[in-house]
Homo-oligomer: A and B are copies of this chain.
Amino acid sequence: MNVVITVDPRDGRRRSTDLHETDESRLEAIAGRASRAAQWLSGLGRVGRAEMLDRIAASLESRRVDLVAAAEAETGLSHPRLDQELTRAALQFRMFGDVLRDGAYVEAVIDHAADTPLGPGPDLRRMLVPLGPVAVFGASNFPFAFSVAGGDTASALAAGCPTVLKAHPSHPLTSHASADAIESAIRGMGGPDGVITIVYGEQAGRSLVRHPAIRAAALTGSVGAARAIQAAIDERPDPIPLYAELSSVNPIVVLPGAAVDRGEQIAEGLFASFTASGGQLCTKPGLAFIPSDPGGEHLVDTLRARVASAGGTILLNERIRDAYENRATAFERAGARVSARPQVDPGEGFTVAPTLLEVGLPGLTAEIADECFGPLMVVVRYRDVVELDAVLATVPPSLTGSIHRGPEDDNDVVRRLVDVLAARSGRIVFDGYPTGVRVSWAQHHGGPWPSTNAVHTSVGATSIRRFLRPLAWQDAPEWVLPEELRDEYVAIPRRVDGRLESKLE
């Protein structure tokens, strides 16, 4: 069995760990344990699972110092950023606790027996039930919040699905420590092994999604990774859903009035948004459309100065560093000129310089209108807002689209741009930046391909829906039904005979 290696991106040093890539026989045992754990998890019920999620959040927080230190050494992300990310991870587990206690997520519907135009209709009751064990692929860029202790795990466990995690090779020790914190909370409730388990290695990831026990897979990663996992799934006799959150350009339009009204402030906001976390965020703005007028000129001057005076940033791993540099070179070859790029000492690790590129609207080729993972943004200068509609319709669909408006911008222009962006995005941001994804009930983190491949979200309360399937009971005796579907149950909102009934509190 191959030993798992960890690399410190701050100095490029590679070290062996005590972990091993997961072989087939171990994977088989893990899948078996996950299947057996499904009954315990489902038996906990909604309120029991909510308590489990709260305990997991507390367990993660109780190990904050060690977890953040492990992640620092494996990701090169800053201590404050990782500290906040752990808070976010704990918040996600707690939010799903709230979702479970609320209970509306099971979508309980009761149709009592009734005469219909087609004859007597039977008693029918429907709710969402867990899919079964699921596979979750950790992301490189969020060692907590989109990895072992991430939102996919939280929503899958909330749904009642045992979760087998494929650790991202960029942070195996953080992954291991996170799983240990989660397992410890589950053991504290008397839970069995297999509620959450972790596998290492590419081959294990492919075998995992081919395993008959696995009922869905979730991935935050690249289009290439998604295609490889889909190819493995396609080898199954029975297809399973792959919920993939992939690539996103996140165009931002600054209208002329906004540039005049608050150009410097927007320049600062753009800089912060495209360089935060080394630009390694799926919501990083990759394209900023800025007018070619004096207001836009001043904005770009400010931004250029800000970038030129910035320091280097450590990227997550060698592959991402190389891809960043290659992509930047490709953009330049395709006609984007360097607007600002400071000199930085690359050092021993994976440090790069932030890069601001610039291109005129007619020069925005398909090659440049593509994601570059890392601290790079392309400023696209436009002469007239009427040019924007057609161009935005050629930018690949994204998780987000943003518009900055000023007091003098025309609402009709805004409405037209919103229509174009809405057709190609999952979230429209007004006068703000797409980074900093709020974890809440209304959040939607998804969009048309290649942003995601599904009509689901991977962030927010409704992401639990990915791991549930409907089940209906016809003329069932009361004692067979889940409590949520019994007549007298009033602890959750339900639809009864076509009418929504509130939860009684």
Q: Which residues of A line the B interface, CB within 8 A?
A: 84, 87-88, 91, 98, 102, 104, 107, 109-111, 116-119, 121-122, 124-126, 129, 131-132, 238-241, 397, 411, 414-415, 418, 422-423, 425-432, 436, 438-444, 446, 448-450, 453-457, 460-462, 468-477, 479-480, 493, 495, 497-498, 500, 502-503
A470–B441 contact, CB under 8 A?
no
Task: Give 29 CB contacts A-B under 8 Å.
Answer: A102-B500, A107-B462, A109-B462, A111-B438, A116-B438, A116-B440, A118-B436, A121-B440, A122-B438, A124-B442, A125-B442, A126-B460, A126-B462, A131-B455, A238-B397, A239-B453, A240-B449, A425-B471, A426-B471, A427-B472, A428-B472, A428-B473, A429-B474, A430-B480, A442-B495, A444-B470, A444-B472, A446-B470, A462-B470
| Minimum CB–CB distance for A62 against chain B, Å | 16
The answer for the CA separation of A475 and B450 in the assembled complex, in Å, is: 25
Given contacts A470-B444, A498-B98, contact A118 B475 (CB under 8 A): no
The answer for the CA separation of A102 and B499 in the assembled complex, in Å, is: 9
A121: chain B residues within 8 A (beta carbon): 438, 440
| Minimum CB–CB distance for A177 against chain B, Å | 22
B480–A441 contact, CB under 8 A?
no
A454–B241 contact, CB under 8 A?
yes
The answer for the CA separation of A16 and B414 in the assembled complex, in Å, is: 53
A455–B471 contact, CB under 8 A?
no
Not counting A428-B473, A462-B470, a sample of 4 additional A-B residue pairs whose C-beta atoms are within 8 angstroms of each other reads: A109-B442, A111-B441, A429-B475, A432-B475
Q: Which chain B residue shows the least CB distance to A39? A: B419
B439–A118 contact, CB under 8 A?
yes
| Minimum CB–CB distance for A272 against chain B, Å | 13
Identify the interface centre among A84, A111, A440: most chain B CB within 10 Å of its CB.
A440
A110: chain B residues within 8 A (beta carbon): 442
Q: Which chain B residue shows the least CB distance to A418? A: B480
Identify the interface centre among A88, A441, A493: most chain B CB within 10 Å of its CB.
A441
A116: chain B residues within 8 A (beta carbon): 91, 438-440
B91–A118 contact, CB under 8 A?
yes
Q: Which chain B residue shows the least CB distance to A84? A: B118
The answer for the CA separation of A479 and B418 in the assembled complex, in Å, is: 12
A480–B118 contact, CB under 8 A?
no
Given contacts A426-B470, A475-B430, contact A87 B118 (CB under 8 A): yes
**Total identical chains:** 2
Which among B427, B438, B455 is the interface contact of A473 at CB below 8 angstroms?
A: B427
Which among B118, B425, B440, B502 is the interface contact of A502 at CB below 8 angstroms?
A: B502
A476–B427 contact, CB under 8 A?
no
| Minimum CB–CB distance for A475 against chain B, Å | 5
The answer for the CA separation of A428 and B422 in the assembled complex, in Å, is: 40
A427: chain B residues within 8 A (beta carbon): 471-474
A454: chain B residues within 8 A (beta carbon): 241
A440–B111 contact, CB under 8 A?
yes
| Minimum CB–CB distance for A247 against chain B, Å | 12
A450: chain B residues within 8 A (beta carbon): 238
Which among B442, B475, B498 is the interface contact of A111 at CB below 8 angstroms?
A: B442
Given contacts A440-B111, A455-B241, contact A474 B430 (CB under 8 A): yes
A469–B455 contact, CB under 8 A?
yes
A88: chain B residues within 8 A (beta carbon): 118
Identify the interface centre among A87, A124, A449: most chain B CB within 10 Å of its CB.
A124
Identify the interface centre among A111, A117, A474: most chain B CB within 10 Å of its CB.
A474
Given contacts A238-B450, A472-B426, contact A117 B131 (CB under 8 A): no
The answer for the CA separation of A458 and B426 in the assembled complex, in Å, is: 25
Given contacts A91-B118, A457-B470, A470-B444, contact A124 B438 (CB under 8 A): yes
| Minimum CB–CB distance for A97 against chain B, Å | 12
A440: chain B residues within 8 A (beta carbon): 111, 116, 121, 124, 498
Which among B102, B397, B428, B480 is the interface contact of A476 at CB below 8 angstroms?
A: B428
A498: chain B residues within 8 A (beta carbon): 98, 102, 440-441
Which among B129, B469, B474, B495 is the interface contact of A432 at CB below 8 angstroms?
A: B474
